[in-house]
Structures are given as C-alpha cells and as structure tokens.
Amino acid sequence: MAIIVTFDIPGVGQELYDACVSRLTDGGEFTSLADVPAPGLVSHAAGPADGGWRIVDVWESEEALENFAKVLQPLLADLGHADVEPRIIPAYNVVTR
C-alpha cells in the first residue's frame, strides 16, 4: 500500500536540503526520481514551510521507505539532524503524470 511521508524540519532551510541531495546524488542534482538511490519513491516535493523545511514524498510501501531510511538516517545524523522523524499516513489515492 502506498504511503505519504512528510518531514518537517524546524529551523533549517534549503542549505540542509541541498547538502542531503548532494550526498545522495554524489554531487549531482535531483531533477528525476532516478537521481537518488530510492527504489519505490513515487513522488517528491520540498520547500520552505513554517520556519523550517518540509519534504513530502509518496512511497510505494512502508518497506521501500524503510530501505531508503537506511541510507538517509546516517546522512542526516552526520549533518546534525538525527532527530528528524517522518509523519507517515496511508495514501488513499495517488495520481501521477
């Protein structure tokens, strides 16, 4: 079952996001889902929100997110944000182009 995952990271901005993307892509860009090592990622959006940064993803399954978390969590910890916890809800409807 698809899930919607929201990360709200207070007090940070685009710099943290760009640092994560740079590490995930070995210095490349994130302009396509194929750019990151995240099998099962259906969609991704990120931007400033409420005095911090918000990331909203749709994943094919919670298992796919858990596999990606094995890559993301150490990276966030290395950047000083080990405490970032996602909010996960079931997706009722997912529409893609």
Q: What proportion of the chain, given as a percentage, has pLDDT over 70?
A: 100
Residue 3 has pLDDT above 90, yes or no: yes
pLDDT per residue over 10-50, tens digit each?
999 999 999 999 999 999 999 999 999 999 999 999 999 98
Give residue 88's pLDDT band: very low, low, confident or very high (50, 70, 90). Answer: very high
Q: What pLDDT was estimated at residue 97?
A: 85
80's enclosing H/E stretch is none
Using only C-alpha atoms, what is the Rg of the chain?
Answer: 13
Helix%, strand%, coil% for the chain, nearest 5: 30, 30, 40
Q: Span 51-64, mean pLDDT?
A: 97
Contact 2, 88 (CB under 8 A): no
Q: b/e map of 23-36 (b: 16 or more CB within 10 Å)?
A: bbeeeeebeeeeeb
